Amino acid sequence: MTQIRNIIIAVALLTGLSSQAMAASTSGTTNVSVRVPEFIALHFYSNITLNFVAPTAEVIDEGRNDVDAGFNGNTTGNGLDANSLMNASLELDGTKTSVKLNNVWAVRGFSKSGNARVEVTVPSAKLQNGTSEITMSNVKVSDDAQSGSTITTKLNGISKGRATTGNIDMDLDFSNTTRSGSHTGAQYTITATTI
């Protein structure tokens, strides 16, 4: 019995020693870096139609007038004068109408600064329908924090849900507009650049 016990102890010692003798361990640390490329995506509408809402007709009572009539059919007296006409509900009088197109562009991406430069230019400022004309001017980009022909705005990464959205502001001059219907031909160009 003593011999069996000695054999068991010897086997146990050999097993333990061989496990320790065979186990070896070492480790190393790897530094990981990621090089992110510069990238920018510009979302925009290639066609926009502004539908102005106005009354279809209006009657304006200019008061009373005395007209002298001769038996030969000739009349004299004061008539309507363009400088003294009363106002209608739709009045322009040659002034410019300011229009803000909300959320008509968006940018997202990566840049060295995390920002982008957004610029608007106007290749063509005239909208025409025959001889009737509307002139577009003072076109600006804005992101609700700033406005101008060029602005610097945040990119916020490439996630669609975090894109920076922006507006276009412009003035429209109706002083040479004489027709209803579609007036076409004007363009603005938005350019987004990583900075």
Query: Is residue 18 in some structural domain?
Result: no
pLDDT of residue 70: 80
In which residue are the tokens 């068991």 written? 8
pLDDT of residue 96: 87
pLDDT of residue 1: 58
Neighbours of 127 (CB within 10 A): 19
Query: Is residue 170 in some structural domain?
Result: yes
pLDDT in tens, 123-134: 999 999 999 999
Neighbours of 117 (CB within 10 A): 17
Residue 102 domain boundaries: 39-50+92-194
Query: Is residue 105 in some structural domain?
Result: yes
> Which residue positions in the chain have pLDDT lower than 50?
none
Whole-structure pTM over 0.85, yes or no? no
The separation between CA 1 and the C-alpha centre of its own chain, rounded to angstroms, equals: 93
| Tally of domains within the chain | 1
Q: How far apart are CA 66 and CA 122, in angstroms?
A: 52
SS3 5: helix
pLDDT of residue 89: 61
pLDDT of residue 10: 58
pLDDT of residue 86: 66
User: What is the Cα Rg of the chain in Å?
Assistant: 39
Query: Is residue 79 in some structural domain?
Result: no
Query: Is residue 84 in some structural domain?
Result: no
pLDDT of residue 2: 64
CATH number for the domain spanning 100: value is 2.60.40
Which residues pair with residue 170 across a beta bridge?
A: 99
Query: Is residue 2 in some structural domain?
Result: no
Q: Looking at this protein, which amino acid is placed at residue 144?
A: D
pLDDT of residue 33: 95
Query: Is residue 76 in some structural domain?
Result: no
pLDDT of residue 85: 72
